[in-house]
Amino acid sequence: MKRKVVYPGTFDPITKGHLDIIKRAALMFDEVSVAVSESIHKKTFFPLDERLDMVKNTVAGIKGVKVDSYSGLLVDYLKKSKKRIVVRGLRAISDFEYEFQLALLNKKMMGDDIELIYLMPDEKYLYISSSSVKEIASLGGNVSQFVHSYVAKMIKKKYLK
């Protein structure tokens, strides 16, 4: 039986910190589904199709990694895809507080049918967030050290419009 895990998020955009979590999860599990959330309540900078494209380009060539999307509740996606293990990244105490609340809500909705695993990215990625990448780009800064080269091109293209 394959060990499968879901790594959900908006990935707006996907960063090297996200990629670090994906690579490490791929070492522990046979299949990692990077589940890109449509996130209708969160105003995203990139539409879903562009976020999916950036994630697919970033994870290309990593064995056992698939890219998927979902809309609505994560627990509904898990039930539909018949998966029960979720990996999330933690960078700071503020992430822990947010993730702890989400974990309790998801456990309440799914009970013992969900397991949550938290990974810290390598220390060189601890300070990187999608929000900070977008802020740097919006002010004309170079984001290539924080994101995959394809993502950097997509961000530059978006800000030049």
Contact by Cβ (8 Å): 96, 102 = no
Rounded Cα–Cα distance for residues 159 and 143 (Å): 12
Catalytic member of 91, 107, 153, 158: 91
Options 16, 37, 130, 148, the catalytic residue: 130
Q: Catalytic annotation on 91?
A: yes
Matching residue, tokens 């977008």: 134
Q: Which of 2, 42, 63, 161 is catalytic?
A: 42
The answer to whether 18 is a known catalytic residue is yes
Which distant-in-sequence residues (6+ apart) come within 8 Å of 28 by Cβ?
3, 5
Torsion angles phi and psi, residue 87, rounded to 5: -110, 140
Catalytic member of 18, 88, 134, 148: 18
Q: Does the annotation count 88 as an active-site position?
A: no
Q: Strand pairing partners for 6?
A: 33, 86
Active site residue 43: no
Catalytic site positions: 18, 42, 91, 130
